[in-house]
Amino acid sequence: MNLLLLNPSDFISENSVRLTGRALKHVLDVHRAQEGDTLRVGLVNDRMGEGIITSLTEEALELDITLTEQPPKPLSLTVLLALPRPKMLKRSLQHLATLGAKKIILLNSYRVEKSFWQSPWLSEEKIHEQLILGLEQARDTLLPEVILEKRFKPFVEDRLPELMEGKRGLVAHPVGGSQCPHQIEEEVVLAIGPEGGFIPYEVEKLEEAGFERIHLGSRILRVETAVTAITSKLFD
């Protein structure tokens, strides 16, 4: 946790907050901080700055805070992520939040197991938890938007064209296509397949919608690795 992310409900006065739970535990166990120490803080979807510890007990942490800095610039990236298994979903959401993606669409695909859509990790609360972990890692405050699209074809045919306006679509697929571009300036919509990969029909539908097929070489990467490696390369 490189930043304590604050919620409006944490405020006990205009410039002071009171934290319990995970943040308190982290400050006690990892930072091993003391009264008078300064910690990096940020308010969700708002500015960042510093907090001076005014009180620290086993029950609560209180800080006087000053929020003066803007969060880092978001990536010009929308990710279409074929819904991975819960363990990988958690890590992928964290990585994407850390990297600065601000729109993530969890998409159905032929090789997504139906049971994944029933996972408790898809609840708003659980998704929020993973995004917060990612933002705290990166020192960012801007929460990504996460959208669930449970039907591939209606999404690609009806909603994707609008989403694609003015953007460059890239579908990551280990077979065919061209080398993943790097250091690009355009806004990107990046599609990442499920653990079994997109089926040819899905790649073709995305190509019809204007996507280019790209690869990162012959090594097959796990979903969470592919997301990170491709994003890093695109926006290096």
- Sheet strands side by side (includes 188-192): 145-149, 103-107, 77-82, 188-192, 168-172, 212-215, 178-179
Residue 164 C-beta: closest distance to ligand SAM, Å: 18
Q: Least CB distance from residue 181 to ligand SAM, whole Å?
A: 12
The 16-19 sheet, strands edge to edge: 4-6, 38-43, 48-56, 61-69, 16-19, 11-13
**Least distance between ligand SAM and beta carbon 87 (Å):** 14
Instruction: Between 49 and 177, name the residue whose CB sits nearer to ligand SAM.
Output: 177
DSSP helix/strand/coil, 106 = strand
Pick 13 or 183: Cβ nearer ligand SAM: 183
The rounded distance, in Å, linking the Cα atoms of 212 and 204 is 10
Contact residues for ligand SAM (CB under 6 A)?
172-174, 192-193, 195-198, 215-217, 219-223, 226
β-pair partners for 103:
78, 145
Identity of the residue, 17 or 93, whose beta carbon is nearer to ligand SAM in the bound complex = 93
Least distance (Å) from ligand SAM to the CB of residue 197? Answer: 2
In the complex, the smallest distance separating the C-beta of residue 222 from ligand SAM, rounded to whole angstroms, is 6
10 Å CB burial of residue 223 (0-12, 13-18, 19+) is buried
Indicate the residue among 92 and 141 with the shorter CB distance to ligand SAM. 92
> How far apart are CB 172 and ligand SAM at their closest, in Å?
3
CB of 20 to ligand SAM, least distance (A): 39
**Cα separation, 203 vs 136, whole angstroms:** 35
> Which of residues 10 and 224 has its CB atom nearest to ligand SAM in the complex?
224
Cβ atoms of 95 and 119 closer than 8 Å: no
Q: Strands 4-6 and 38-43: what pairing?
A: parallel
The Cα–Cα gap between 50 and 38 comes to: 6
Q: Which position has the token pair 């490696």?
A: 229
The smaller minimum CB distance to ligand SAM, of residues 42 and 197, is found at 197
| Minimum CB distance to ligand SAM smaller for 164 or for 216 | 216
